[in-house]
Amino acid sequence: MTHPQTEAILFPPIEPYRSGRLPVDELHTLYWEECGNPHGVPVLFLHGGPGGGLSPRHRRFFDPAHYRIVLFDQRGAGRSTPLGEYRNNTTPLLIDDIERIRRMLGIERWLVFGGSWGATLALAYGQAHPGRCLGFVLRGIFLCTRAEVDWFMHGMRWFFPEVHAQFVAAIPDAERGDLLRAYEKRLFSDDPDIYLPAARTWSRYEGSCLFLRPDAEAIEDFSSDAVSLGIGRLEAHYFLHGGFMHDDQLISNIGRIRHLPAVIVQGRYDVVCPPLSAHRLHEAWPEAELQVIADAGHAAVEPGIAAALVAATERFRKRGSFV
C-alpha cells in the first residue's frame, strides 16, 4: 500500500498512450509503454530486481505534461515473456534492449531514472552509451560487487534476524554453507514444485526488508508467483554471475559519465542496499548530488525518498539539469 503522504507527493495516476511488445530474440519478448507528453523530454524508467517488473506507480515520478515517459519490463520480468527466463539474460543484453527501444521510438537522448538494480543498469547503460543520456536520477545504489551480494545473502540478518532465519530455513543444514548455490539448485530446477517455493521464499525475504517500517502489502506482493519467480530466479542468476560485469566495473568506468548531471537518492536505513555503496559512488563521482534521506529504508515509495525523486525530476524539468 502506498503511504498516504506518498500519494500526495507523486503525480496523479496515468495510463499509457501507447504500448507494445518487442521480440528481442527467439526466447524473449519485452513489454513496453509510453506515458505523458508524446512531444516531451524523454525519460527512461528502469525497474529494480533484477526481475522486479513495472508498477503503475512507476509512471508517477514525472510531470506527465512535460515528460515523455518510457517504461519497459526487462527480460524475464513483469509482462515480458517468458517470466523468470534466465537464459539469454545478461547485463550487456539488457543494454542492447534499451538501445533497441530507444531506436524504435526515435529518441536521440533521454534522462535515465532507476532504483536499486535499476540504478545498476542505468549506470551500466550510461557508461556504454554516454552520448544517449541527458542525466541520471539514481536511488538505492547497488554496484553489484561481491561484498554487496554477500551482504544480501548473509549480512541482512544483523537487522532482520527472524526474516533471514526463514530464508535459511528453506535450505537443509548440510547446504547452508553456501546459500547462493543452494538456492541456485532449487530456483533453476525444472520442477515447479521445487522452484516456485524457493522463489517465493527468496522474494519474500527481500520484500520483508525493503521499508523502514515493514509493509505487509508489499511483503504479500513480493510473495506472489507473478513477482517472486522473476525476482527469485533473476536476482540469483545475476548474483551468481557478478552482474555480468567486472568486479567494481561501475566505479572503474565512472569517468565515462562524470560530465553528465546526476542526483543520487539514498535511504539512511536501507538494509537491502546499504548507504556505503551510494557513498562510494559519490566519492568517485563528486559532481553528482547525493541526498541521504534520514527517515527511509530502500523503497521508492517511502515518503522521503519519493519526495526527493519527484523533486529531482522537477528540477531537471525546470532547468534542463539539476544545478
CATH code: domain of residue 58: 3.40.50.1820
Does the annotation mark 150 as catalytic?
Answer: no
Task: Share the mean pLDDT of the chain.
Answer: 96
What is the span of the domain harbouring residue 201? 147-242
Coil/strand/helix, residue 39: coil
User: Do 96 and 65 share a domain, yes or no?
Assistant: yes
Question: What average pLDDT does this structure show over 126-147?
Answer: 98
Q: Which of 242, 266, 288 is the last residue of a domain?
A: 242
Tell me, what's the pLDDT at 2? 61
Which of 182, 207, 242 delimits the end of a domain? 242
Whether residue 27 is found in the same domain as residue 85: yes
Same domain membership, residue 56 and residue 15: yes
Same domain, 235 and 249: no
Residue after which a domain boundary falls, among 227, 242, 257: 242
- Exactly one of 28, 47, 58, 298 is catalytic; name it: 298
Residues 173 and 153 in one domain: yes
Indicate if 120 and 249 belong to the same structural domain.
Answer: yes
Q: Which of 116, 203, 228, 277 is catalytic?
A: 116
Task: Check if 116 is active-site.
Answer: yes
Considering the domain architecture, whether residues 219 and 283 belong to the same structural domain is answered as no
Global pTM value: 0.97
* Residue 266 and residue 178 share a domain: no
Residues 6+ apart with CB under 8 A from 104: 22
pLDDT tens, residue by residue, 52-111: 999 999 999 999 999 999 999 999 999 999 999 999 999 999 999 999 999 999 999 999
Q: Judge if 45 and 114 occupy the same domain.
A: yes
Q: How far apart are CA 21 and CA 30, in angstroms?
A: 5
The candidate with the shortest Cα–Cα distance to 229, out of 82, 89, 47, 91, is: 82
Q: What is the mean pLDDT of residues 22-48?
A: 98
As for how many domains the chain has, the answer is 2
> 208, 270, 277, 282: which is the annotated catalytic residue?
270
- Whether 270 sits among the annotated catalytic residues: the reply is yes
Structure confidence by residue, pLDDT tens digits, 153-207: 999 999 999 999 999 999 999 999 999 999 999 999 999 999 999 999 999 999 9
What confidence score (pLDDT) does residue 218 get?
79
